[in-house]
Structure 1
């Protein structure tokens, strides 16, 4: 098992790698304690096929926000694009940052950091399948 990991400005061209679920806790802690504008990560599972060389057939995003102690998870592949479904107590339009580049999300998408951690572990262990431990909703329901 191996997955590419991009989240730091200095590691966008040459990614880091996750080799086991044992490394997930370190990733989550690094996102929580690292630069504020680098709290979103893209993870590409290398056991999944590519559509073309250097172009994966999926995208998995995870973010954690230390200020509110919540996170977000998004998954896309040929079956569609989904995002975590947060409760009514979560924020409207939260913003997370992948290597300093902002990504805004729709309302009510934040979930507990424990679910984010479990989702990454499940994604890695399953060979890159959409995690079942996350409550999902369509990411772009209008199109």
Structure 2
């Protein structure tokens, strides 16, 4: 049975006290918090409790989730054995930037997705034990 616990970090106070996601209502709350976070806090780092830690005591994976407050779009990035960024092949928007605790992260062209799909992907990450969501298309970024 899947542990269904994800630790989310997106504000400075979460360093020692991450937000715990255990169900779809928690995912909804995260999406709304990122939407309300403004340009300096619209990106979260997620780690699933079921995944192992590396020898240094850090997670072996990370899902970045960003939500743009001004539009109905967001971004995803997944890191474990490789780096992957969400892909919307129908949109040709340029590079975009999202921030976690004031630190900006650049995302490549065509990485923004509808917020509903971002929400679905976070729920899938939660329920799959921390696997890369299959409900979205991914691209391997040239930089990162």
Q: 1:135 aligns with which of 123, 134, 137?
A: 137
Q: 1:20 aligns with which of 14, 19, 23?
A: 23
CA RMSD for the aligned pairs?
1.7
Distance in 2 separating the partners of 1:92 and 1:55: 32
Residues 45, 65 of structure 2: 8 Å contact kept: yes
TM-score (ref. length: structure 2): 0.89
TM-score (ref. length: structure 1): 0.90
Residue in 1 that maps onto 2:62: 59
Distance in 2 separating the partners of 1:24 and 1:99: 19
**Where do residues 17-96 of structure 1 align in structure 2 (5 Å cutoff)?**
17-78=20-81, 80-96=82-98
Task: Give 1:88 deviation, angstroms.
Answer: 4.6
Distance in 2 separating the partners of 1:13 and 1:7: 12
Distance in 2 separating the partners of 1:85 and 1:35: 23
Distance in 2 separating the partners of 1:21 and 1:92: 31
Q: 2:122 aligns with which of 90, 96, 120?
A: 120
- Number of matched residues? 141
Distance in 1 separating the partners of 2:90 and 2:124: 25
Residues 45, 128 of structure 1: 8 Å contact kept: yes
Task: Give 1:19 deviation, angstroms.
Answer: 1.9
Residues 38, 69 of structure 2: 8 Å contact kept: no
Q: 1:10 aligns with which of 9, 13, 23?
A: 13
Deviation string 1:65-88 (CA, Å, 9 cap, x unpaired) is 01132100111112x111101245
- Corresponding position: 1:101 with 2:114: no
Residues 21, 125 of structure 1: 8 Å contact kept: no
Instruction: Provide the secondary structure at the position in 2 that maps to 1:82.
Output: strand
